[in-house]
Structure 1
Amino acid sequence: MRFLFKTDYNQDINLFPDNVARFWYGLLMVALIAAPFVLENFWLGEISYVLILAVVGIGLMLLVGYTGQVSLGHAAFLGIGAYTHAVLLKLGVPFVISVPAATLLSAFIGAVIGFPALRLTGIYLAIATLAFAFIIEQILIRWEDVTGGFAGFPVPRPEAFGVAITDDVPFYYLCLGATVLAVLVALNLLRTPTGRAFIAIRDSEIAAQSMGVNLARYKTLAFAISAGFTGFGGTLFAHKIGYLAPDAFNILLSIQLLLMVVVGGLGSIHGAIYGAIFVGALPQMIAILRDYLPENIARQPGLEPGLFGVILVFFILFEPLGIYGRWLKVKLYFSLFPLYKKATFKRQKTYTKSERFR
């Protein structure tokens, strides 16, 4: 078992705890950079989709996992980013300008939505964000002059130096760079006073306010930053699906995004990435599973949403810390083996925010 001795205050804010972590993360980056040389285009597309989900998951994790504000409307921010980016490209705006513009617009709308929702918590906040998602979906349907209504429109294919950015390999590297950027921004944000204020609000709003944390300011800021990350992911998502239509940003997608951070592990950037891998791989696993199920079950149209719901309930009941929490337990088990204690892994009762103050 390795022990990490801290001899400097700066060790508390380092991105990597030690050289071992630097080695493994460096090896992972080398593997991801080399992936196009050994994988087929289909698998590059699947990994690109997972990377896009990771960017969106990091944004939702900052709101749900680190600030404690539940959202069921993040598919709306994803749609805002995707549609804004695609419309700007249609108008001839360069790619390097349309992406930041879509991100900033998503962040602005997130702040507008977050401010009136300041007094809401728990299930009431979830219902409010769900209503916002329905409103945005109707706007995308009714604003036909811009969005194309139900018919939608194809996403333009931008080029740089004569190469289409949306080709398999360039788009993969674009998604990889976006994910690395999102991770670095989120980690550095969490090391700032703003990030610490988010965590304080999540743990106890009363205690945070007594320490001088402005709840209205930081809750609104959390919504804005989370929406900005999601809108940024939406710009990549638009090129991934290639054709925008309102039904691509429905309530099911919002539930999948929430499932992603809950299953991955709340309160952890690792959890957002693990959740993205899980949600990105689950449809392929279900497609393979259909070949082995009875025909009358395999043809059921609601099989995938049903499995998503069952998995979410399973994790809430039996593994509330998610995949990353389970991974930490596995590491601790082998670190202490054979001297581990069974009580080490005993799950304690947890409470929702609404139950905490009763």
Structure 2
Amino acid sequence: MRFIFKTRYEQDINLIQHGGQLFWYGLLVVALLALPLAASPYFLSQVSQVFIYVLIAYGLMLLAGFTGQMSLGHAAFMAVGAYTEAVLAIAGWPFFLSTAVAGLLAAAVGVIIGLPALRVRGLYLGIATLAFGTIVEEIIARAEPITGGNAGLMVPPIQLFGLRFADGVPFYYLALAFAIGGALILINLLRSPTGRAFVAIRDSEISAQSMGVHLATYKTLSFAISAAFAGVGGALYAHNIRFLSPDQFTVIQSIELLMMVVIGGLGSIHGAVFGAIFLIALPQAINASKPFLPAALAEATGLQPTVFGLVLILMVLFEPLGIYGAWLKFRAYFDLFPFYRQGMFRRQKAFQKSDRLK
């Protein structure tokens, strides 16, 4: 078991807390860099998709997990980024410039949608964002001269430094770079006064306001940053799928994104990663298990949503901290063995406390 003795205030906000983190995260990065040498093209494409959803999950985790604001329309921010990137790529804009514009436009839309958060919260905020997602889906379907409407829109491949980042290894490394960059941005944001203000709002708006946190400013800022992450993720999604249509950004997609961060573990960056892996791996696991299921069950159209919903119910009932919470308990068992106690994590069932960030 590791004990960290802190002698300076700066140690609380260090990016790397101890040498073990440097070793294991460094080893993970090396493994991800070497993965294309051993992985098949299909597996590589699935991992690239995981990186894209990790980027989107970072934004939704910031909003729901660290600021405590519900969003059932996050697929709409993703759609704004994806269609902006597609239109600008067709017009011949450089990739990094068009991606930046996609993120900024999604952030601007996030500010507009964040305004209702100043007056409503909880379920009512979820309904407001749900309505927004439906409106964006309808706008995309109706704006045929720009988006192609229901007929869809083809997205050209990425051209960078004379190389074609269409799929395979080049796109894998590009998505990996965005996922790592997004993690560093989110970690540094949470270590800043702005991130601490987000957490204060989540734990108690009255207490945060009494400490001088301007609720309207920080709630709107959280929506904007979260939407920017989703917009950039949507831009990468557009180039990975290479074809966009309104039915890819429905309300069901928004609900799946929210379930992704809840199952992964609200209030932790690791939970965003675990949730994205779960979201991509679940359909693959279901397809792999179909040959072993009864024919009536294997051919059922609602099998995947049913399994997804069942996992969510089990997580909420038995593991409120999600997959990351289960990992913490598993690690603590071996760290404290034989002194591990069954009820030592009981206090974590109080939903979302600042202590969970430690």
**Shared fold (TM-score, shorter chain, > 0.5):** yes
Moved over 4 A (4+): none
Residue pair 1:200, 1:208 contacting (<8 A) in 2 also: yes
Following superposition, the deviation at residue 16 of structure 1 comes to 1.5
Deviations 1:144-202 (A, max 9, x none): 11111101111111322332112311100000000011000000000111000000000
Distance 1:335 1:308, change over 3 A: same
In the alignment, structure 2 segments of 5+ residues that lack a partner are 354-358
- Counterpart in 1 of 2:128? 128
Deviations 1:288-326 (A, max 9, x none): 121111111111111111111111111111110111111
- Counterpart in 2 of 1:13? 13
- Counterpart in 2 of 1:89? 89
Q: Distance in 2 between matches of 1:350 and 1:10?
A: 29
Residue pair 1:252, 1:305 contacting (<8 A) in 2 also: no
Q: Distance in 2 between matches of 1:161 and 1:210?
A: 52
Letter in 2 for 1:249: F
Q: Secondary structure at the match of 1:343?
A: coil
Distance 1:34 1:305, change over 3 A: same
Q: Distance in 2 between matches of 1:298 and 1:224?
A: 41
- Counterpart in 2 of 1:356? none
Is structure 2 residue 191 aligned with structure 1 residue 191? yes
Q: Distance in 1 between matches of 2:90 and 2:310?
A: 41
- Counterpart in 2 of 1:155? 155
Is structure 2 residue 270 aligned with structure 1 residue 263? no
- Counterpart in 1 of 2:59? 59
Q: How do residues 293-312 of structure 1 correspond to structure 2 at under 5 angstroms?
A: 293-312=293-312
- Counterpart in 2 of 1:79? 79
- Counterpart in 2 of 1:216? 216
Percent of residue pairs bearing the same amino acid type: 57
Following superposition, the deviation at residue 115 of structure 1 comes to 1.4
Q: Distance in 2 between matches of 1:334 and 1:128?
A: 45
Q: Distance in 2 between matches of 1:131 and 1:166?
A: 34
Q: Distance in 2 between matches of 1:327 and 1:86?
A: 39
Following superposition, the deviation at residue 349 of structure 1 comes to 5.0
Letter in 2 for 1:85: E
Deviations 1:232-280 (A, max 9, x none): 1001111121100000011111111111110111111011001111111
Following superposition, the deviation at residue 116 of structure 1 comes to 2.8
Residue pair 2:89, 2:95 contacting (<8 A) in 1 also: yes
Q: Distance in 1 between matches of 2:12 and 2:270?
A: 18
TM-score by length of 2: 0.96
Q: Distance in 2 between matches of 1:351 and 1:171?
A: 38
Letter in 2 for 1:134: T
Residue pair 2:274, 2:323 contacting (<8 A) in 1 also: yes
Q: How do residues 1-358 of structure 1 correspond to structure 2 at under 5 angstroms?
A: 1-346=1-346, 350=350
Q: Distance in 2 between matches of 1:338 and 1:350?
A: 26
- Counterpart in 1 of 2:356? none
Residue pair 1:263, 1:275 contacting (<8 A) in 2 also: yes
Q: Distance in 1 between matches of 2:13 and 2:324?
A: 21
Following superposition, the deviation at residue 350 of structure 1 comes to 3.5
Q: Distance in 2 between matches of 1:342 and 1:172?
A: 41
